[in-house]
Amino acid sequence: MNVLDIAGLRLSVGDVPLLADVTVRVGRAETVGLVGESGSGKSLTSRAALGMFPRGARVTGHVTAAGVDVLAAGRGALRDLRRTRAAMVFQDPRASINPVRRVGDYLTEGLRASGVPAREAAARALDLLDQVGIRDPGRAVRRHPHEFSGGMLQRVVIAGALAAEPDLLLADEPTTALDVTTQAEVVALLKRLQRDRGTGMLFVTHDLDLAAAVCDRVYVMYAGRVVEEAPSAGLFRAPAHPYTRALLEASPSARGERAEIRAIRGRPRSLAEAPSGCSFRDRCPLADEACARKVPDIRPHGTSLVACLRPQEVAP
């Protein structure tokens, strides 16, 4: 059973399309990556799982998160989903916590809203801080966010996200603002806690090496569409879409032989300004007239599902 099932998701604000036919699924205890350049629609897709749409958005398709039909749910049902069944860890921990409230208040307010007695909620907060590696939890709950480093505060945010033991965890670039050592610690923490609880996780990142190390499967997004889906090992060994290959060639890697880093020509496109047909064709070295006629359908190729007319020409 999937803890997240997004199918045929289309989203627009006014006359501006932002997402088109996005399909993403996450199984229980599975880690699924969502990668792509900035503006490709990764964060918008992850927030759709919680019904967090831009004001005035028109949304069609199917979104089910932790058994809740998100597009049909009312405010009460969405509030319950966000409080008890699904949680999100945002990129910037300092933007996620009220700076004038103590950490203990942040950790206990959701539990108290769910009917947990004050003493039990306080004990739960101490236990959560201990699980995420915060030293002296009894002192930490009395401190304010500005008294923590970025890495320690991200641990607090993770503790808050896991307070209700959610079925679905949405991690929206949770390590981007952290140094490399702290990144490794936070990722290891997320994976351990996920494994212990059997939580499904959607991991949004632009770091391809990180996605390869963390994820079971990976979706690649470009201009508001999913252009490739594959098991992580297959995706990084033999990409089937020219955009995936270009991302790999543009990213320095700590693994394998030393290789030249090649920038992707042109600039990223939004869905609204993408050319006709394949949205990547104006940046793709393999593009021809056929690529302009229609948006390529997703089809199997090797271990991938790919939206490309000639995936066999995308050499590893």
pLDDT 10s digits, 241-281: 999 999 998 877 655 566 678 888 888 888 999 899 999 99
pLDDT of residue 256: 58
Is pLDDT at 33 greater than 90 in this prediction? yes
d(CA 75, CA 97): 22
Query: What percent of the chain shows pLDDT beyond 70?
Result: 97
What's the whole-number average pLDDT of the chain?
89
User: E-strand spans in the chain?
Assistant: 2-13, 16-27, 31-35, 57-65, 68-69, 86-89, 168-172, 200-204, 217-222, 225-231, 299-301, 304-306
d(CA 27, CA 291): 33
Of 217, 194, 203, 281, which is closest to residue 243 (Cα–Cα)?
A: 281
Mean pLDDT of 86-94: 87
Residue 53 DSSP label: P
List domains and CATH numbers for the chain: 2-313 (3.40.50.300)
pLDDT of residue 203: 94
Mean pLDDT of 135-156: 90
pLDDT of residue 126: 93
What confidence tens digit (pLDDT) does each residue in 157-206 have?
888 888 878 999 999 888 776 677 777 777 887 888 778 888 999 999 98
Q: Coil, helix or strand for 48? A: helix
Burial 181-202 (b: 16+ CB within 10 A, else e): ebbebbbebbeebbeeeebbbb
